[in-house]
């Protein structure tokens, strides 16, 4: 079950149903997920969350999926690391660093956003997931797509260093190098998403994708 009531334009406030949309038709503003927070308040508590598995889905009432999560069962719940010496240098008595570099499976905070976007892509019925990326995002999309058994295309600028491509390549996506910079790749991906009906985690699924980032803050709180 979901507490999502729909999408809303951040600029003009126009409402949209829960679909793979990311831009307002009227003003081109970004769309954001809307929740019924009153109902959420009645359903969860800090105690209830504390009893759950140590992954980002422990906050699932505050995430935009309807059914069970499909990927990301080991993503999130990264440690707070006490930084005593840095704290002393800064004059802070209790300083902790949230270390998202140990996220599963690709050691990047992108595993949070991609877990949510791909779980949602499966709910929407997409069989192909994709992204425009300069490295970390491609790794994470390729890894989660492999886990879910989805076709995966990653689009990268053609000047990208080999080391960054290998991280995605091991998961077997179809990698397409575009002659241009990241903005060129991104623009092309918007057109490809429309033409082929693919889920681009950071284009047509961006509102869902962005929600995954909140879990970082929930964990700190």
Asked if residue 29 binds Zn ion (CB under 5 A), the reply is yes
Q: How far is CA 117 from CA 107, 188, 201, in A?
A: 17, 20, 6
CB 31 to Zn ion: min, Å = 8
CB 16 to Zn ion: min, Å = 9
Structural contact between residues 111 and 104, judged by C-beta atoms closer than 8 angstroms = yes
CB 11 to Zn ion: min, Å = 5
Asked if residue 27 binds Zn ion (CB under 5 A), the reply is yes
Binding segment toward Zn ion, per CB under 5 A, in 7-15, 95-103, 124-132, 160-168: 7-15
Rg for the chain, CA atoms, rounded: 18
Binding segment toward Zn ion, per CB under 5 A, in 29-37, 80-88, 120-128, 132-140: 29-37
Half-sphere exposure (CA, 13 Å, Cβ side) for 187?
7
The arrangement of strands across the sheet holding 199-200 comes to 174-178, 151-157, 128-132, 199-200
- Contact with Zn ion (CB under 5 A) among 1, 6, 11, 15: 11
Q: Which one, 108 or 204, has the nearer CB to Zn ion?
A: 204
CA angle 8, 16, 132 (to 5 degrees): 75
Asked if residue 25 binds Zn ion (CB under 5 A), the reply is no
Cα-Cα-Cα-Cα torsion 206, 209, 211, 216, nearest 10 degrees, comes to -140
Q: Which two tokens stand for residue 24?
A: 């307002």
> Which residue has 């000047």 as its token pair?
159
Q: Which two tokens stand for residue 177?
A: 């190098």
Asked if residue 7 binds Zn ion (CB under 5 A), the reply is no
CB 24 to Zn ion: min, Å = 3
Q: Which two tokens stand for residue 193?
A: 């998403």
Asked if residue 30 binds Zn ion (CB under 5 A), the reply is no
CB 13 to Zn ion: min, Å = 7
Q: Which one, 29 or 169, has the nearer CB to Zn ion?
A: 29
CB 9 to Zn ion: min, Å = 3
105 prior amide bond cis, ω within 30:
yes
- Contact with Zn ion (CB under 5 A) among 4, 7, 24, 114: 24
- Contact with Zn ion (CB under 5 A) among 1, 12, 80, 86: 12
Binding site for Zn ion (CB under 5 A): 9, 11-12, 14, 24, 26-27, 29
């Amino acid at each position: 079950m979901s507490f999502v009531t729909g999408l809303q334009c951040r600029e003009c406030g126009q409402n949209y149903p829960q679909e793979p949309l990311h831009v307002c038709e009227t003003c081109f503003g970004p769309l954001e997920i809307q929740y019924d927070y009153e109902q959420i308040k009645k359903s969860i508590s800090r105690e209830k969350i504390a009893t759950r598995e140590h992954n980002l889905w422990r906050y699932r009432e505050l995430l935009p999926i309807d059914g069970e999560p499909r990927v990301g069962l080991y993503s999130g719940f990264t440690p707070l690391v006490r930084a005593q010496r840095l704290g002393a240098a800064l004059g802070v008595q209790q300083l902790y660093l949230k270390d998202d570099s140990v996220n599963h499976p690709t050691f990047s905070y992108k595993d949070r956003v991609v877990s949510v976007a791909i779980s949602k892509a499966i709910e929407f019925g997409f069989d192909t997931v994709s992204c425009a990326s300069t490295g970390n995002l491609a790794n994470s999309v390729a890894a989660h797509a492999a886990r879910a058994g989805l076709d995966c295309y990653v689009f990268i600028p053609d000047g990208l260093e080999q080391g960054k491509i290998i991280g995605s390549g091991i998961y077997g996506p179809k990698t397409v190098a575009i002659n241009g910079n990241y903005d060129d790749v991104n623009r092309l991906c918007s057109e490809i998403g429309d033409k082929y009906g693919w889920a681009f985690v950071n284009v047509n699924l961006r509102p869902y994708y962005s929600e995954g980032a909140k879990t970082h803050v929930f964990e700190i709180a």
